[in-house]
Amino acid sequence: MASPKTLEIVTATVPVLEEHGVAITTVFYRNMFNEHPELLDIFNETNQKLGRQQTALATTVLAAAKHLDKLATLLPQVTQISHKHRALQILPEHYPIVGKHLIGAIKEVLGEAATDDIITAWTEAYDEIASVFIQIEHGMYKEAMWQGFAPFKVTEKVAAATDIAAFTVVPVNDNEDSNQDIDLSKLKLTAGQYITVKTDPADSDHIALRHYSLYSASTETGIQFAVRRDNRNEHHGLVSNYMHDQLEVGDTVLLSAPAGDFALNQNLVQQNEIPLVLMSAGVGVTPVLSMLEAQVLANPKRPIVWVYACQNATHHAFSAQVNELLEQAERVEKHIFYFESGQLLDAAWLETLPKPADIYVCGSMPFMESMIDGLVGLDHGVDSVHYEPFGPKMSLGG
C-alpha cells in the first residue's frame, strides 16, 4: 500500500497532471523510444502517430492514481487492460522502463513545480499501480493456451463483406523454432475473445501487432477471425492491408493465445426470461457473432434481439452465417440499419429494446459512446450493458 504521505501528494497533484497529461505522455513516449527503440515493436505505431496512445496512457495512470487507496475498485478495467498486455507480450521487465521515462517526463514537463516530494510520491504511486498489473498478468500468462507467438497456417480466406476478410488458421506444430505443440481439439475458446497477430509489413521499420476478434468459438476447422481493411488515412491500414492483399492460403502468420474478457454472462445463458441483445456495427459484428453461436448452441429457447448497423448491403458482414444461426433460435428479433439509406440506430430507437435485457455492444468508439450513453440514459443498468470498443483502450502498452 502507498504511504499516507504519497496518497496525500498524489491526490493533491492529480489535477495538475490531468492538465498536462497528454504533454507528459508525449514526452514520455519520445524519450522512451529514443532509449529503447526495440519497444516500437510492441507499441502501436499508428496510435502513436494519431496521439491516441498518449491519451490512453494518461487516462489510465491518472484514473489509477485517483483510486490509489482502493485500486480493487478498478479491477474490471485493470483486468481488461491486462488482457491486452498479455496478448501483446508485455512483460514485468517492461514496467520499470515505462516508470523511469514516465516519471522523467513529469519532471521535464512540470519543471521546477515537480518538487522532490512530488516525484517521490508519483514514483511510489506508479510502482504500486505497476505491481497490480504485473500480478494479474502473471496469472494470465500461466493460463494462456500457448506461450508467446506461435506459427499458424492460413487454411481459408474468404470475403465476409466488401471490406472484411475472414481467416481460418491451424497451428504449425513441426516448426523448429517452437518448443510447444498446439492441439486444436483441446483449445477452449470463449465467444467474444480476440487473437493478436504479429506481422512484419514491408511498409514499416518495425514489427506490428494487432488484435482481431474471433467470429466463432469453435475450433473444429481451426481458429477463425476477421480483419477489416482500414484505409481512412495514411496512418491506418498498415496491418489490415497486408492481411487483405498479401496473406494468402498456405502462408504462415504468428498469433498469441486468445485473450479478452468480453464474454456472455453464463448465469443468464440457460434462462428464458431476460432477452439477449446483441448490438454491433461494421466489423464489430465478429465477437457478437461468436456469442450468438454460443447462445444458440447452449440454449436456443432464449429470446434474442439481433441489431446490426453498417454503411450498406455490400458492407453487411457475415449475413448468411447470422441468418443461419437466427433460424435455429426460437424467439428472434432482427433489426438491420444501413446508414446510406438513412436508417438510424439512435437513442429514440433504443427505447424499443426490452427491459430488462442482457446487452452486448461492439463497434467503433463513436458507435460505442452513442449506444452506451443512450442505453444508460434509458435506465439500462451498467451491469447489464457489456461492450468491446474497436480502438485503443486505456493501456500502459498496447
Catalytic residues: 95, 137
- Which residues are CB-neighbours of 394 under 8 A, at least 6 positions away? 56, 57, 59, 60, 63, 77, 81
Sheet with strand 164-171: strands edge to edge: 208-213, 194-199, 252-259, 150-161, 164-171, 223-228
For residues 61 and 125, give the distance between their C-alpha atoms in angstroms, rounded to a whole number: 9
For residues 210 and 255, give the distance between their C-alpha atoms in angstroms, rounded to a whole number: 10
- Which residues are CB-neighbours of 159 under 8 A, at least 6 positions away? 165, 166
Q: How many other CB atoms are found less than 10 A from the CB of residue 389?
A: 18
For residues 6 and 122, give the distance between their C-alpha atoms in angstroms, rounded to a whole number: 7
- Which residues are CB-neighbours of 133 under 8 A, at least 6 positions away? 78, 81, 82, 85, 95, 396
State the angle between helix axes of 21-35 and 94-110 in degrees (0 to 180), rounded to the nearest 10: 130
For residues 241 and 229, give the distance between their C-alpha atoms in angstroms, rounded to a whole number: 6
Diameter of the chain measured on Cα atoms: 67
Q: Supply the DSSP string of 152-181, one letter for each residue.
A: EEEEEEEEEETTEEEEEEEE-TT-TT----
Return the C-alpha cell found at 145.
493456451
Helix, strand, coil: what percent of the chain each, to 5? Answer: 50, 20, 30
